[in-house]
Amino acid sequence: MSTLTGQGALVTGGAGGFGAACARALAADGAAVVLLGRTESTLRATAERITAELPDAPAVRWVAGDAESEVDVRKAVAVADETPLRIAVATVGGSTVAPVMALDQRTLEHDFRRNVVSALHVIRHGAAAMARHGGGSIVCTSSSAGGCSFPFLPSYSVAKAALEALVRVSADELGALGVRVNAVRPGLVPTAASKPGLLVADAEQRAVVLREKPLARVGTVEDIAAAVRHLAGPESSWTTGVTLPVEGGSHLRRAPSLEKLARSVLGDEAIDRALTGLLPE
């Protein structure tokens, strides 16, 4: 019998790079995993691939929906709770490259919804289900940007810092219910839909990022999934309210400059205006 046998698990953003890797790690140890994501064909392909790779694990299932929708998250929680829900992993998020002077209210609110509101739905509805079964573990995905100043990523930094605060408060309140809430803080990990992919592709920019990592390599989704698996399982049963950096030691140094990335995304004129204190025209 595997460590997580008999436990239901929900992974939001389940067909993404982080989500799929986390789902596989949980399923490999016997959890009955349900994926939530917006594209049914991608969810199906991800679930079928994991199930084929792990024939002795429970079949991975999926629910098509938006993690920013409370209705969709509640539906996914109900499906995952058919095997008593003990684990929920919130991986949905996203960043917008824009310096402060080019950041508008709409973009800030958009990034806040993607990174914080989507996790709030998982925490609230996941914890309600877990409390009925005596407890469980919720793991959220933050970012290095949540722990230090990341110039040219202000909305992402604000959202991830808020997410980490939500994790701490949730852990404090929900501990009495036996529900643990933690987060992982990935560093440079390229995925198909991520901005870090642009950093990895540019040798000069990649070198700037890796200079700030004592373990000077690019991360993998498996690195993140291993940390999530630890925080989700019984090995971390006395751990709650923490954000675990999984980023090669970046927290020991400083955030790299992403100016070159910002210029490639927004253009030189927009960045030059922002850096001289001018608002967008």
pLDDT, tens only, 50-66: 999 999 999 999 999 99
Tell me how many domains the chain contains. Answer: 1
Query: What is the distance between the alpha carbons of residues 170 and 70, in angstroms, rounded to a whole number?
Result: 17
In this predicted structure, what is the pLDDT of residue 197? 56
* pLDDT, position 221: 95
CATH number at residue 76: 3.40.50.720
Residues of the chain falling short of pLDDT 70: 1, 192-200
Q: Does 1 fall in a domain?
A: no
Q: Which residues are catalytic?
A: 156
Q: Is residue 13 part of a domain?
A: yes
Residue 2 included in any domain: no
> 12 lies in which domain range?
8-275
Domain annotation covers residue 281: no
CA atoms within 13 A on the CB side of 52: 6
pLDDT for the residue 98: 93
Provide the 3-class DSSP secondary structure of residue 218.
Answer: coil
Distance CA 183, CA 144 (A): 12
280: in domain:
no
